[in-house]
Amino acid sequence: MPQLQIPMFPVGVTHITSLLAFQNEAGNIIYFNGSLPVFSHREEDRQSFKMITAQFCANGHARQADIVRAFGVTAISVKRSVKLYRKEGARGFYQPRKARGPAILTPSVLREVQQLLDANQAVSAIASKLDIKPDTLSKAIRAGRLYPCAKKKSPTIQ
């Protein structure tokens, strides 16, 4: 016959649910299920915190509202963590962030645009010729990645 587990927690823990609790011990966060420690991480390790709390929610050990109440985090951050956990598992919290690179203005395109600028062509003409937005070229000029051709001074009449 199955025996009921009486939740007995170490002294100084903060309850998440009636069976889950955590304790901050010298910068280490330790999670307890009943009296057994189930996971621990450093206090500043945000990825592990998000992963374990999302795991508790996804497995039905805690509700998202329990995590919000116990840790004082925003509800949307818990929802995003649970969504990430369900989609990619624990691995999703430790992958490097996806960032876009300079997909349009590659080094070869920058060289070609600079040659056309040196040939005294207008930015709008270069943009339409290479099928690039004129704003993209203007931003590259302002950022110093491209250099506009020096404008020729018109002769002044005296």
DSSP helix/strand/coil, 129: helix
Band of residue 103 on the pLDDT scale cut at 50, 70, 90: confident
Q: At what angle do helices 123-130 and 134-143 cross, to 10 degrees?
A: 120
Band of residue 101 on the pLDDT scale cut at 50, 70, 90: low
CB 84 within 8 A of CB 46: no
Average pLDDT over residues 95-124: 86
CB 134 within 8 A of CB 124: yes
Residue 86 and residue 132 in one domain: no
Residue 25 and residue 87 in one domain: yes
Q: Confirm whether 22 is domain-assigned.
A: yes
Q: How many domains does the chain have?
A: 2
Q: Which residue has the higher pLDDT, 149 or 151?
A: 149
Residue 77 and residue 120 in one domain: no
Residue 112 and residue 89 in one domain: no
Residue 85 and residue 118 in one domain: no
Q: What's the rounded Cα separation, in Å, for the pair 29 and 51?
A: 13
Residue 52 and residue 88 in one domain: yes
Band of residue 100 on the pLDDT scale cut at 50, 70, 90: confident
- Nearest CA to 49 out of 95, 90, 99, 7 is that of 90
Residue 77 and residue 21 in one domain: yes
CB 67 within 8 A of CB 75: no
Q: Confirm whether 148 is domain-assigned.
A: no
What range does the domain containing 26 cover?
14-93
